[in-house]
Amino acid sequence: MSLIQLLDLGVIGDERGALVSLESNKNIPFDIKRVYYIYGNKGDVARGFHAHKALKQVAVCVSGSCRFVLDDGEEKVEVILDKPDKGLKIEEGIWREMYDFSDDCVLMVLASDFYSESDYIRNYSEFLRTKSSQQ
């Protein structure tokens, strides 16, 4: 499985502009139970630094751009999100970091479940131990 899974969200548009529709189990590969977005980030401040035990997510940069580092414990890859019709699918058990936010960046995240602090792994060493025990 490639760490970078970009989803084509599809655009409906004409001379008036563009529309992107997000639908559970259609162009988003799970039931959407939570939506949140981050904005007003300082370009030199990184965010994320966690993994989820069970949660799946799709990140969409609806405005501006940012960079992601995805890490499965063996491989790290970087991807730039800068198109509102592309979604970055992030599976469970993937460490993520976001940085290099443009001034106009609005990053929306669609999640497969409601917020639960117990689903987070916030320590990288613990993340690596968890990954090695699963092998």
Catalytic residue among 50, 63, 91, 93: 50
Gap between the Cα atoms of 1 and 41, Å rounded: 31
Task: Give the Cα-Cα-Cα angle 27, 31, 37 (nearest 5 degrees).
Answer: 80
**CB neighbours of residue 30 within 10 Å:** 16
The answer to whether the CB of 4 falls within 8 A of the CB of 67 is no
The answer to whether the beta carbons of residues 14 and 84 sit under 8 Å apart is no
Question: Is 50 among the catalytic positions?
Answer: yes
| Distance of alpha carbon 16 from alpha carbon 25, whole angstroms | 28
Residue 44 tokens read as: 């030199």
Residues acting as catalytic residues: 50
